[in-house]
Structure 1
Amino acid sequence: MPSYHPAVTSRHVAPRRPRALRHARARSRHPLLRGAAVVATGVLAFAVAGTATVAANLQGNITSADVSDLVVPVDEPSTDATPDPQDASAGQALDILVMGSDERDGENAAIGGSVEGMRSDTTILVHVSADRSRAQLVSIPRDSLVEIPACTATNGQTSRPRTDLFNSAFATGADMGGDAASAAACAISAVQVNTGVTVDHYVVVDFVGFTKMVDALGGVTMCIPEDMSSPMAGLQLSAGVQTLDGTTALAFARARKGVGDGSDTSRLGRQQQLLAATLQGLLSKNFLTDTGQLIGFFDAATESLTTDPGLSSIADLTGLAFSLRGIDPASITFLTIPFGPAPSDPNRVVWTPEADAVWAAIAADQPLPSSEPAAPAAPATTDPAAPADPAASAPAAPEPTPTETKAAGQEAFTGADVTAVCS
């Protein structure tokens, strides 16, 4: 039987020698490169070590000392701009009731004499339009016969409703509560019931507060058309342009007997003139655009003011005043509410139907109705058949428009109008 010999395959061939790795073969083939790499590595290590040694030696040679806190700094202008005052009621129409108080305690007694109680002969409703482009200051005669509603003082006392003089509302509140807040509450109630206007804020200013405001402004310059003398008010002024200090301005505003016709209407007119001159001073001296001056003005004035919480801070007052910085004096109107003699007593007054139109315009935040309707255009008188006269057709030189003098207290006027003429 023939013997079987399996085929010899490659799997059974004697194993070959292991191949040398390629990189090992490369090193073995380039001994010079390997030596160069070793030398480069050594040189680099030596250089790094040497540099570190030199740096350490140099650092040790330097002496450091911080003197930044010891030198005088460069006086550079600040880059932090002072933010403009913010109007907390921006976009809203405001009605503010301003009342002058003749309370005669403390410093007030030194100015006006000592008298018991608290009265108000000056009440002005100030309307500021929502867009801050208009302001109307409406004086309310103290002798107006109006409905006085029941009102409550800060101590809880309540008065009975009645028909009486307008300024009795302020006095009633003061007598019940013994403070300016009670007086203001009753006066505000009387205004709202008789006008339909909602009072947003109030300000009660006494003698001292008024004089400080005028003095903080540097006085008020006014035209005094004739000599004025009122011993009872302590007023003595010569005709001409005068700059009134706080005390003199107060006497000018309070004087009634011995000045003009001695009426309360005449006094209201002088108060309006004084307010107009004060506002002109604020605008001309840039008080409304200079935050520093504005804050200083209110800082002096607010020592003797009583206000509601909405106007109780310098920030509130300066924010509102700053919002009026661009107002045109011609858009600030002063007027006394239209009135006539009371049928029951010629020494008292009642509001006329024209007053209703004023209050309605204020409540709607609209311009006041004009008291002087525009004159109709004159019809043409030229005869077309008549021959043209060359001389008549030549343009005539324009005549200067005479300056109209408004009667303050008797008719409305603006901050741009003339209410007194000094030679």
Structure 2
Amino acid sequence: MTDDIKLKRKRLSPVSIVLISLVVFVFSAIVVGGAFVLLYEPDPNKSNFGGYYETNTDGEIVLPTDNEGSIVTLPPVDNDKKVFNFLILGHDKVAKNTDIIMIVRCNIDENTISIVQIPRDTYVNVSGKKSHKINALYGAYYNSAKKAGSKDPTMDALSQLAGLLQTTFHIRINHAAIIDLDGFVKIIDTIGGVYMSVPADMKYTDKYQNLYIDLKKGEQWLDGEKAMQFVRYRSGYVNADVGRTNALKIFMSALLKQVKENMNVSTLSKCATEILSNMSSTIELGDFIYFAKNALSVDLSKVYMVTLPGKGLMVNGASCYVLCRADVLDVINNHLNVFNEDIKDSEFDPYRILTDDTNSKVSSIYSSPLGTVKAEVYVASDVNENSIDIPRRK
């Protein structure tokens, strides 16, 4: 008998081969996907939106020009700069009015965030649109897209409004998102609610909108439903529109603090799909995780919030908010500019959408000199410490 023992190599069954292949594939996907998230960097020149163009009586496009007649175009962004702008909209339940309009700049190079709020009553004079309030534009674009048979009127309307703002403010908007009230409630619940101090009792009822607000003054946890009540309340403020933008600053400061203290990249990544599913946006998962990761590293003392400066005015029986051109341009250069040079006055609002040259009261406010309405810049850390005094009706 020989002592040599031949070891026979056991052949794998087809099922085993499939299982092992599947394990290897999944493992590889996790490794590659994780590496992608860690190494992924979005293109600062990428924008999902075109510009806004007006037409003449013959239906021909009239390109925007500066004071010297030169065509106004957006310059490229330095590829070495990591600075991005996001348009964020929130609309009500009954109509498509966007009661929350803000543009957020993420400056990853300087580790800062700027949140620029546009009051919903901001005066606009857009060709072919009946309403002179900016919060009605999204709904008008939505209805037009739906009437034209659009497969996705929400994204079409979002793109048109983003294009209008890009051309008017002469900025680049990289991404945009719109959230309805139900989506807002679900997102706040997903992150566990927000602990904050409600500055005063808030009570209001609007049966038409199925809106019932009943909050008591003091520190408390706000779940999604109560958070929605807080950000929608406006009737008790002396300046209802601007008062609500300042209340939103209080909420956002508390929200950012809550997220920074209780979440990390891993937990935010787990919430990403749920958050994105409750909004319509151009933001993909990789973008969301990239920007969320960077936002977590920003100190609250470097989160700036400002409302575009302007003055209230009754226009054709409607309460409007007319922007002050010079002061708005100053805010945009400081908080939304992503280019290497300042945005020039000749490049700003080339179609004069933010004014009406036939209305002396509107044009007077619009053309007022720099410093007429100085924009107050709030810092999130200070707001969390001292809140904001919002004048209330007696």
Note if 1:88 corresponds to 2:42.
Answer: yes
Per-residue CA deviation, residues 162-210 of structure 1 (Å, 9 max, x unaligned), is 8822122212102212332232133223322331112221101111221
Aligned counterpart in structure 2 of residue 266 of structure 1, from 243, 249, 253: 243
Note if 1:245 corresponds to 2:254.
Answer: no
Aligned counterpart in structure 1 of residue 91 of structure 2, from 90, 98, 101: 101
Q: Scaled by the length of structure 2, what TM-score is found?
A: 0.64
Note if 1:415 corresponds to 2:380.
Answer: yes
Note if 1:315 corresponds to 2:286.
Answer: yes
C-alpha displacement of 1:245: 0.3
Aligned counterpart in structure 2 of residue 334 of structure 1, from 299, 305, 322: 305
Unaligned runs of 5+ in 1: 1-52, 70-77, 105-114, 150-159, 369-409
- Identical positions, percent: 19
* 1:2-401 correspondence runs (5 A): 55-56=3-4, 59=5, 82-83=34-35, 84-85=37-38, 86-89=40-43, 91-102=81-92, 104=93, 115=94, 117-131=95-109, 133-148=111-126, 160=128, 164-178=132-146, 179-232=153-206, 233-257=211-235, 259-261=236-238, 263-285=240-262, 287=263, 289-291=264-266, 293-308=267-282, 311=283, 313-342=284-313, 347-352=319-324, 353-361=326-334, 362-364=336-338
User: Does the 8 Å contact 2:85/2:105 carry over to 1?
Assistant: yes
Structure 2 SS opposite 1:142: coil
Per-residue CA deviation, residues 258-295 of structure 1 (Å, 9 max, x unaligned), is x333611111111222122111111111x3x332x112
Q: Distance in 2 between matches of 1:324 and 1:318?
A: 10
Structure 2 SS opposite 1:247: helix
Per-residue CA deviation, residues 3-59 of structure 1 (Å, 9 max, x unaligned), is xxxxxxxxxxxxxxxxxxxxxxxxxxxxxxxxxxxxxxxxxxxxxxxxxx7634xx5
2:150 is matched with: none
Aligned length: 287
C-alpha displacement of 1:235: 1.7
Q: Distance in 1 between matches of 2:339 and 2:382?
A: 23
1:396 is matched with: none
Q: How well do the aligned residues superpose, as a CA RMSD in angstroms?
A: 3.4
Identify the structure with bigger relative contact order (alpha carbons < 8 Å, sequence gap 6+).
2
Q: Distance in 1 between matches of 2:191 and 2:41?
A: 22
User: Does the 8 Å contact 2:96/2:136 carry over to 1?
Assistant: no
- Partner amino acid for 2:90? G
User: Does the 8 Å contact 1:169/1:186 carry over to 2?
Assistant: no
Structure 2 SS opposite 1:330: helix
1:19 is matched with: none
Per-residue CA deviation, residues 358-404 of structure 1 (Å, 9 max, x unaligned), is 112322468x9xxxxxxxxxxxxxxxxxxxxxxxxxxxxxxxxxxxx
- Partner amino acid for 1:340? K
* Shift in CA distance, 297/132, structure 1 to aligned 2, threshold 3 Å: farther
Q: Distance in 1 between matches of 2:186 and 2:315?
A: 41
Q: Which structure has the bigger radius of gyration?
A: 1
Per-residue CA deviation, residues 121-156 of structure 1 (Å, 9 max, x unaligned), is 11001111251511111110111112425xxxxxxx
Per-residue CA deviation, residues 230-249 of structure 1 (Å, 9 max, x unaligned), is 22332212221111001110
Q: Distance in 2 between matches of 1:363 and 1:147?
A: 24
* Shift in CA distance, 147/364, structure 1 to aligned 2, threshold 3 Å: farther
* Shift in CA distance, 196/342, structure 1 to aligned 2, threshold 3 Å: farther
C-alpha displacement of 1:302: 1.7
User: Does the 8 Å contact 1:146/1:194 carry over to 2?
Assistant: no
